[in-house]
Homo-oligomer: A and B are copies of this chain.
Amino acid sequence: MKTWAHRKADGRRLLLYGTTAYVLPPLAEGPSITENLSHLRWHPLRMEWVAYAAGRQERAFLPPAEFCPLCPTRPGGPPTEIPFEDFEVAVFENRFPAFADQPGPLPEIPGETAQAAGACEVVVYTPEHTGSLGTLAQERRELLVRVWAQRYRELCEREGVRFVMPFENRGEAVGVTLHHPHGQIYAYPFVPPVLQAEVAAFRRGPVLQNLLAQVGSRYIVEEDDAAAVIVPPFARFPYEVWVVPKRAQPGPWTFEDAEVTAVARTLGRVVSRYDALFARPFPYVMVLHAAPKGEEAHFHFHVEFYPVMRGADRLKYLAGTELGAGTYTVDVLPEDAARALRQVEP
């Protein structure tokens, strides 16, 4: 994998990753960064940090394709976030970060605050404006997995970073404001609540190894020697899917080639199955769950997809019991979801 590092005019880092080295010179730059006001406030009842990122309200909201900030810059065209004519995978620092190298000043408020140290990066999967993880070439998906591995390594090395999480929000139903195929990476200065629970679970036992051993064909969407795609029997979302490498790896940075290939391939096939399920682009949140720093010994990396469709024309909403109590109700049985996903052609 070749890397090309660039410093944008407003100081943000941009990295181009490719199978071949990048050679063209940078073009004109886009809008400059606004003042960073991000900070953390402690929620004393839920006992968790809340991240504030004022200024995000100004971010681009579903611009027309010719003004897409994630496309390559065309010579003579409007500047985009990526001042290059072409690229394979591009990563740059978010213009409106919740976490940053140089977070905002701490506000004077009642209660505990902390610096929102960390990073928020945008990962652009392709220079093509349309498409999805499902339609990308397998070679590009494998490059993406290697980019994630590299970002994990680099961000985890930063002082103060405790957890790194690549994810993808897809579809307007989950609030996506740009359609160009892309994901994000957050680097947190604390271990977030969900990861605290997962760390505690993995310390007690090999939860995912046990699950893979018990789960049986009823819950398996597909599998090969390196990875399984399952609907967990305890799914919290209708059509929730997990991609689980069979060996317990802490994260993509320890993958062997077979795991890079299998994870890249199955992620693409999950998205293709989703799109085939209701014959429409399927909105989801995809989250990579890797070990927080220092928890590599017991953790079992996996990818979770949270769909927000519970039928061809029905969305799943989080409401009273999910938001108020933290208990999810589900009306699609995992057994039925796994069968439906097995039966569609990826």
Contact across chains for B306 and A323 when beta carbons are under 8 A apart: yes
With A47-B201, A214-B111: A330-B285 Cβ-Cβ less than 8 Å? no
A331 within 8 A of B: yes
Report yes or no: B48 in contact with A326, Cβ–Cβ below 8 A.
yes
With both chains docked as a complex, state the minimum distance between the C-beta of A234 and any C-beta of chain B, in angstroms: 4
Contact with B along A174-203 (1 / 0, CB 8 A): 110000000010101000111101101110
Task: Give the number of copies in the complex.
Answer: 2
Q: Determine if B167 and A289 form an interchain contact, defined as CB atoms under 8 angstroms apart.
A: no
Contact for A324 among B45, B289, B334, CB less than 8 A: B289
In the complex, the chain B residue whose C-beta lies closest to that of A39 is B333
Report B-chain residues with C-beta under 8 Å of the C-beta of A48.
197, 326-327
Contact, CB under 8 Å: A324 / B194: yes
Is B198 touching A330 in the complex (CB atoms < 8 A)? no
Q: How far is the CA of A83 from the CA of B195 in the complex (A)?
A: 49
Task: Find the B residue at minimum CB distance from A333.
Answer: B54
Q: A47-B197, A110-B216, A167-B321 are in contact. Are A329 and B98 (CB under 8 A)?
A: yes
Which residue, of A45, A109, A200, A329, has the highest number of chain B Cβ atoms within 10 A?
Answer: A45
A317 pairs with B46, CB closer than 8 A: no
Which chain A residues numbered 104 to 143 have a C-beta less than 8 Å away from chain B? 107, 109-111
Cβ-defined contact, A325 with B192, below 8 A: yes
Contact partner, A43, options B200, B234, B333, Cβ 8 Å = B234
> Is the pair A326, B55 in contact by a Cβ cutoff of 8 Å?
no
Number of interface residues of A (CB under 8 A): 84
Contact A326 B98 (CB under 8 A): no
A318 touches B320 (CB 8 A): no
- A186: chain B residues within 8 A (beta carbon): 320-321, 325
Kindly report which residue of chain B lies nearest to residue A205, judged by CB atoms.
B44
Q: Are A320 and B167 in contact, CB atoms less than 8 angstroms apart?
A: yes
How near does chain B come to A308, taking the closest CB pair, in angstroms?
9
The reply on A89 being an interface residue by CB < 8 A is no
B-side contacts of A192, CB under 8 Å: 321, 325-327
Contact with B along A267-309 (1 / 0, CB 8 A): 0000000000000000001110100000000000000101000
Q: Is A65 at the interface (CB under 8 A from chain B)?
A: no
Give the CA-CA distance A324 to B165 in the complex, in Å.
Answer: 9
Contact A325 B234 (CB under 8 A): no
Enumerate chain A interface residues (CB-CB to B < 8 A): 41-57, 61, 98, 107, 109-111, 163, 165, 167-169, 174-175, 184, 186, 188, 192-195, 197-198, 200-202, 207-208, 210-211, 214-216, 219, 232-236, 285-287, 289, 304, 306, 310-311, 314-321, 323-335
Q: Which 3 A-B pairs have the closest CB atoms?
A: A175-B317, A287-B324, A167-B320
Interchain Cβ contacts under 8 Å between A and B, 14 examples: A43-B236, A44-B210, A46-B236, A51-B328, A51-B329, A51-B330, A110-B211, A111-B214, A167-B320, A192-B325, A194-B324, A285-B320, A304-B324, A318-B318
